[in-house]
């Protein structure tokens, strides 16, 4: 590999390990890419520090694993935030709620400009600005002190106090001060006006490292809310890049509003809708764009939940031949009647106590699996979807938009190639990612993303998830409740403990050690379990979300406040 040019090595804005450095690291680097004693500035140039050498293996096999204490510098941010609560409304100061909304809007604008992705050590070239705003909003939501009360002591005091918080540097702290005192900040004003925002260096962020134009944030965000139109495809239309999928034929002009999308000719639509799920999906998304922005009414959420439950029960009774009265089955459902399926609200409904712009339903059974064979006759989800379509409640894929994923083949019993133990295929090599929507690539619960049609003809988004196997319910419940930002923090905490957390279990990570000691409970004596590479923590130890949180907290109750889903609005 060629040595890095001398100018690149001296430039503090070029990170160690980057392509500009030829993949090399500076010797005794004093720039912020490598100085871990300082908090990152949380701006558009933040990069992760280089990996540290592994600690010496302990001589005693019975000792706890050589993982760092959550209070040290490397783990401080994750541990601090997971030790807090994230209620829907700040406990002391309503001003925090306003600032949280503004920071989350900045996150959405960054995603609209750069794509729905996150920056982390596993994927080193993604949208870290969006992640920075997401973390900052979580900090403000969970602050144990009041911004309004601190404001009386002036800007320097508030900025300094914010810089003591995890994941907040001086640049982000100054933005929060501006939001507190003026109701806006430079970045928010610029993005609302479709101008390029300024970076922490004071220069306009005109083009990002991927070559994407950093103007038009608000317009791109509005367009990306159209069903089936991704953030990056909206960017391509807005900037007229011609990249609408596999076809690079330009429309010859930028498309910068939903109205302009609706005004495309048939030939022009053909260039776009092929990359958006087909003509029917594209036109359907445009037709109901405004409807999907309206929150789902609570009574409609309850009707959807009841309809799904009734169909799942009836179909299960037909499969198992149950002849008991339905009322009796419901009375004994906790004791495992084969037709006693549960349907519960997850997602924002569980965190906030009411649905947002969609309704998320988790279908599960205490002893039955989501599938027993391939195809429609071998699973719970597909027959459920067909009957919902027949009743007119679920919009058919051919008429609108639907995304269905079933994973029976990926969940079959196999021998773990690492240790020869019997497990399931989707647990053999667990991967985790912090890349937003792409996390679904490692989620093997059967699921349907669709559009619910009310009796009055209104439309709302609905997601139906069927828990793959009964023992994975706590992980499915935790993952699909969210929030996405909180899920990412929990996954990062697991990684710091040498573990991997997914929607299916907690697994020992691959490493130099032949086995991993996991602290289940830090009592006297401590309760531990020894795992081989990619081996899951036995499900007999993890029956609830509280058990998962205790493992992430190194066997303590430090994260117990998050057991209540209403405290997970990070």
Q: pLDDT by residue (tens digit) across 319-352?
A: 988 888 777 776 655 556 888 899 999 999 999 9
Segment 509-523 shows an average pLDDT of 85
Whether the Cβ atoms of residue 211 and residue 196 lie closer than 8 Å to each other: no
Rounded to 5 degrees, what are φ and ψ at 388?
A: -60, -35
In the chain, % helix, strand, coil (3-state, to 5) comes to: 40, 10, 45
Say which residues have a Cβ less than 8 Å from residue 282's Cβ, sequence separation at least 6.
228, 229, 269, 272, 273, 276
- Residue spans of the domains in the chain: they are 226-288, 298-407+444-481, 484-567
Q: Per-residue pLDDT for 247 more than 90?
A: no
Beta-carbon contacts of residue 271 (< 8 Å; ≥ 6 apart) = 244, 247, 249, 251
**Helical (H) or strand (E) element with 551:** helix 545-552
pLDDT tens figures, 268-281: 887 776 655 567 78
DSSP 306: H
CA distance 165 to 139: 7
Please, what is the angle between helix 170-182 and helix 155-163, to 10°? Answer: 130
Q: How close are the terminal C-alpha atoms of the chain, in Å?
A: 42
Pairing verdict, β 413-415 and 422-424 = antiparallel
Tell which CATH classification among 3.40.50.720, 3.30.460.10, 3.40.30.10, 3.30.428.10 matches the domain 298-407+444-481.
3.30.460.10
The pLDDT value given to residue 277 = 56
| Number of neighbouring beta carbons within 10 Å of residue 499 | 25
- Residues 243-267 have a mean pLDDT of 81
Q: How confident is the model at residue 356 (pLDDT cuts 50, 70, 90)?
A: confident
Q: What CATH homologous superfamily does 484-567 map to? A: DNA polymerase, thumb domain (3.30.210.10)
The token duo for 448 is: 């349907």
Residues 19-70: tens digit of each pLDDT: 566 656 554 454 444 433 333 333 333 333 343 433 333 333 333 333 333 3
Q: 103 with 87: CB under 8 angstroms?
A: no
Q: Alpha-carbon distance 58 to 99, whole Å?
A: 46
- Could you tell me which of 556, 549, 548 has the C-alpha nearest to residue 82? 549
Cβ atoms of 548 and 474 within 8 Å: the answer is: yes
Contact 178, 184 (CB under 8 A): yes
DSSP secondary structure letter of residue 392:
T
In this prediction the pTM is 0.83
Three-state DSSP class for residue 449: strand
Fold identical between 298-407+444-481 and 484-567? Answer: no
Mean pLDDT of the chain: 84
């Amino acid at each position: 590999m060629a040595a890095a040019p001398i100018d690149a090595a001296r430039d503090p804005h070029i990170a160690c390990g980057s392509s500009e450095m030829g993949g090399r690291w500076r010797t005794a680097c004093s720039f912020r890419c490598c100085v871990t004693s300082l908090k990152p500035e949380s701006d558009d140039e933040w990069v992760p520090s280089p990996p540290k050498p592994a600690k010496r293996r302990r001589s005693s096999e019975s000792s706890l694993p050589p993982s760092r204490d959550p209070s040290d510098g490397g783990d401080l941010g994750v541990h601090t935030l997971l030790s807090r609560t994230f209620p829907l409304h700040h406990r002391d100061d309503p001003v925090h709620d306003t600032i949280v909304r503004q920071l989350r809007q900045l996150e959405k604008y960054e995603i609209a400009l750069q794509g729905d992705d996150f920056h982390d050590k596993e994927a080193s070239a993604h949208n870290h600005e969006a992640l920075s705003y997401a973390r900052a909003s979580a900090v403000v939501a969970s602050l144990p002190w009041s911004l309004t009360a601190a404001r009386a002591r002036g800007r320097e005091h508030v900025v300094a106090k914010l810089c003591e918080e995890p994941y907040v540097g001086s640049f982000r702290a100054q933005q929060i001060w501006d939001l507190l005192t003026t109701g806006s900040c430079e970045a928010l004003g610029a993005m609302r006006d479709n101008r390029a925002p300024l970076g922490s260096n004071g220069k306009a962020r005109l083009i990002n490292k991927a070559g994407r134009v950093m103007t038009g944030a608000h317009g791109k965000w509005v367009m990306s809310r159209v069903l089936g139109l991704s953030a990056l495809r909206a960017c391509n239309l807005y900037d007229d890049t011609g990249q609408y999928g596999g076809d690079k034929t330009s429309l010859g002009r930028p498309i910068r509003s939903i109205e302009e999308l609706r005004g495309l000719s048939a030939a022009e639509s053909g260039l776009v809708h092929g990359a958006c799920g087909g003509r029917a999906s594209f036109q359907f998304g445009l037709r109901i764009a405004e409807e999907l922005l309206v929150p789902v009414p609570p009574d409609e959420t309850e009707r959807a939940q009841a309809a799904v439950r009734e169909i799942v029960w009836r179909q299960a009774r037909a499969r198992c031949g149950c002849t008991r009265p339905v009322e009796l089955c419901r009375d004994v459902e906790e004791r495992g009647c084969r037709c006693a399926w549960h349907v519960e609200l997850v997602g924002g409904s569980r965190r906030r106590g009411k649905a947002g712009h969609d309704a998320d339903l988790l279908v599960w059974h205490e002893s039955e699996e989501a599938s027993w064979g391939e195809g429609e006759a071998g699973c719970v989800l597909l027959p459920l979807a067909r009957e919902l379509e027949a009743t007119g409640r679920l919009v058919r894929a051919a008429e609108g938009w639907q995304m269905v994923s079933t994973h029976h083949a990926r969940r079959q019993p196999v021998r773990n190639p690492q240790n020869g133990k019997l497990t399931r295929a989707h647990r053999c090599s667990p991967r985790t990612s912090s890349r937003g929507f792409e996390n679904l690539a490692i989620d093997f619960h059967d699921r349907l993303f669709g559009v619910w049609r009310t009796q009055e003809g209104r439309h709302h988004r609905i997601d139906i998830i069927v828990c793959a196997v009964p023992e994975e319910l706590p992980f499915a419940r935790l993952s699909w409740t969210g929030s996405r930002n909180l899920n990412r923090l929990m996954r990062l905490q697991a990684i710091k403990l040498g573990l991997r957390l997914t929607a299916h279990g907690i697994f020992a990570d691959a490493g130099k050690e032949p086995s991993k000691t996991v602290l289940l409970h830090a009592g006297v004596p401590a309760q531990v379990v020894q795992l081989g590479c990619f081996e899951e923590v036995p499900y007999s130890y993890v029956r609830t979300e509280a058990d998962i949180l205790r493992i992430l907290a190194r066997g303590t109750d430090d994260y117990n406040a998050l057991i209540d889903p209403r405290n997970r609005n990070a």
